[in-house]
Structure 1
Amino acid sequence: MIDFELYRIFVAVAKEENITKASEKLNISQPAVTKQIKNLEKQVSLKLFDRKSKGLSLTADGKAIYEKLKNPIEELNRVDGQVSKEKFINIGTHNHMGSCIFGDVINKYCLKYPNVKLNLICEETSEMMKKLKNEELDIVFSKKDSKDILNGIKYIKLGYLHDVIIASKESPFVSQKLTIENIENQIIYVPRTYAQSVERIKELTQGKELKLRNSSYKTILELASSGKALGLITREYVDKKDYEKFNLVEVKTTIELGKVEFGIYINSNKFKELNDLIKLIKECFKEN
């Protein structure tokens, strides 16, 4: 089987009718181009070019092969050029973090750099950190992990989010402060049982056996609005209109859920497109 690269060099030389010009187009040395043409002629057992003082011209056999190869090679060159121009950034995030907190930044970046494809991968924080260290991910959007940062990973603070407990406006808990005992005796719907906000409430309730139920954000809002359960959410992940739609309020508690730091995690594998994204992220959150 003849190497595709030999055909590509042949078509370039045939089009330019000159070794020097073809080598410049191909970014290959003149001796290398000459050698590859000789290799191709040897493999097909045909003379493809006539040598002239001012360049080359195709032989009859050369013309026949050129006509068959010209369009396919040009199409392959076009596709190869597109692929080489397209860059990828693999981003680790949680659904709501990616859309609610970083959504505007992602949109701005995609408009500014249309040739860069952003792949969003949603997984547990610990798994994303492992992939970041192994360079399977280039950047992670996350609340600050309370665990030690892995070697080679850098964290950049961007701001704060707020974990809150919500309930129906008709709930008896609205008029009082929820105690640890209240929380312990109520079903609480949470976005992910392994979420950092869940780990925090477990710590704050001093290891009590909480009745936590895993659910989607939409379902949490619906169930909390029934008045029969509480919901644990991150305030910034829910639109104010949804509070009105589901007749919900934030409930005061005796435990301090407080604010939670968030930012981006990056590894040492930086490249121009990723640096551009990091710069844009910093600019956008500085404005906020």
Structure 2
Amino acid sequence: MNTNLSLYRIFCSVAEHKNISKAASELYISQPAISKAIQKLEQNLGVTLFHRNSRGVLLTAEGELLYQQVLFAFQALQKGEEDLKKIHELGIGQLRIGVSTSLCKYLLLPYLKSFLERYPHVKITIDCQSSLHTIKLLEERKIDIGLVGKPKHLRQLTFQPVAQLTDVFVATQTYLDNLKVRSMDTKTDFIKQGNVMLLDGENLTRQYINEYLQANKIEPNQVLEVNNMDLLIDFAKIGIGIACVIKEFVQAELDTGLLTELKLNSLIPKREVGFAYDASSFMTQTMKWFLDHVNEHQ
């Protein structure tokens, strides 16, 4: 469209009033300026839009056709402005979040609860995947924000930390006592000889733990892989084996003695968890609301 939008606004006003003088009064423009704008529009389109007479102006057949379309366009623009105002006033929006099941349960839900109390009209969709898969979805721009363990290489992603997590090995005391019967001497022997339960190999947490085990020359003889940390915790609680879990997620069980933490010779370093997003792409108002909310509640 090569025609200036203001020309169409002048055209609509003249068409509605059927009078150049009244259109000039409504738009606070001189009558010669109105006439010049109509002439320019007619020249641009190559058609005559008005019949002139002593009483005013009337639309030609071409002018009537154009008027209906322009009127529809201006109504659509007005509705768009009203919708934007409504979105701003009510906090309407959509947010796509990627997160692992465990991080969703223990970290994301409290943020979501308070966020939706503040912005009840925001539509939230959650894709529960591993942190590695969540990062891939972020890079493909299929989600807006991901709650993940901090990766080694962020690439184009921005990372906003919200917590530090501690990985620990836990089991029931009964399971550990049974291992001791089989002549266990040191704490690390528990992991070497016991049934060690870990997240599957595609998980970011598993990769982090693998690096720790390799650095400390600890090689479990028997490994049970699970793709969900809640299952690891449940398996540990019924005495199936030794699970590598996040300490903050089993603190209640440790406090009550339902689970016992293995005291290793070398502590597993804490790691950061936070919200990652692609700052190089367009950031929606809803994303800004959510990230501001996270900052306020840390």
Match 1:190 to one of 186, 192, 198: 198
TM-score by length of 2: 0.61
Check 1:238–1:38 CA distance in 2 against 1; reply closer, same or farther (3 A cut). Answer: farther
- What amino acid is aligned across from residue 241 of structure 2 in structure 1? A
- What amino acid is aligned across from residue 272 of structure 2 in structure 1? E
In structure 1, the gaps of 5 or more residues are 1-17, 21-30, 43-76
The aligned counterpart of 1:276 is 289
Counting matched residue pairs gives: 222
Offset of residue 217 of structure 1: 3.8
- Matched position secondary structure for 1:231: strand
Q: 1:158 touches 1:263 (CA, 8 Å); kept in 2?
A: yes
Residues 100-143 of structure 1: CA distance to partner in whole angstroms, max 9, x if unpaired? 11211111111111221111112232332222123211111111
- Matched position secondary structure for 2:102: helix
The aligned counterpart of 1:68 is none
Asked if 1:163 is matched to 2:173, the reply is no
Q: 2:101 touches 2:129 (CA, 8 Å); kept in 1?
A: no
Identity, % of aligned pairs?
15
Check 1:143–1:244 CA distance in 2 against 1; reply closer, same or farther (3 A cut). Answer: same
Check 1:144–1:232 CA distance in 2 against 1; reply closer, same or farther (3 A cut). Answer: same
Match 2:212 to one of 204, 207, 210: 204
Check 1:134–1:36 CA distance in 2 against 1; reply closer, same or farther (3 A cut). Answer: farther
Alignment of 1:57-72 (within 5 A): none
Residues 65-95 of structure 1: CA distance to partner in whole angstroms, max 9, x if unpaired? xxxxxxxxxxxx9xx969x944211111111
Offset of residue 228 of structure 1: 4.5
Question: How far apart, CA to CA, are the structure 1 residues paired with 2:97 and 2:66?
Answer: 45
- Matched position secondary structure for 2:169: strand
Question: How far apart, CA to CA, are the structure 2 residues paired with 1:36 and 1:192?
Answer: 69
Alignment of 1:39-58 (within 5 A): 39=65
Match 2:133 to one of 127, 135, 138: 127
Offset of residue 251 of structure 1: 1.3
Question: How far apart, CA to CA, are the structure 1 residues paired with 2:116 and 2:131?
Answer: 25
The aligned counterpart of 1:100 is 106
- Matched position secondary structure for 1:102: helix
Question: How far apart, CA to CA, are the structure 2 residues paired with 1:259 and 1:36?
Answer: 73
Offset of residue 237 of structure 1: 2.5
Q: 2:132 touches 2:204 (CA, 8 Å); kept in 1?
A: no
Check 1:142–1:108 CA distance in 2 against 1; reply closer, same or farther (3 A cut). Answer: same
The aligned counterpart of 2:121 is 115
Q: 1:101 touches 1:237 (CA, 8 Å); kept in 2?
A: no
Residue range with higher mean Cα deviation, 117-126 or 101-110? 117-126
Match 2:237 to one of 225, 229, 232: 225
- Matched position secondary structure for 2:297: helix
Q: 1:222 touches 1:246 (CA, 8 Å); kept in 2?
A: no
Q: CA RMSD in A?
A: 3.9
Match 2:267 to one of 256, 268, 281: 256
Check 1:40–1:264 CA distance in 2 against 1; reply closer, same or farther (3 A cut). Answer: same
Offset of residue 270 of structure 1: 1.1
The aligned counterpart of 1:69 is none
The aligned counterpart of 1:149 is 154
- Matched position secondary structure for 1:205: helix
Q: 1:143 touches 1:263 (CA, 8 Å); kept in 2?
A: yes
- Matched position secondary structure for 1:266: strand
- What amino acid is aligned across from residue 224 of structure 1 in structure 2? A
Q: 1:188 touches 1:211 (CA, 8 Å); kept in 2?
A: yes
Offset of residue 254 of structure 1: 2.0
- What amino acid is aligned across from residue 210 of structure 2 in structure 1? K
Larger radius of gyration: 2
Question: How far apart, CA to CA, are the structure 1 residues paired with 2:236 and 2:185?
Answer: 17
Check 1:254–1:239 CA distance in 2 against 1; reply closer, same or farther (3 A cut). Answer: closer
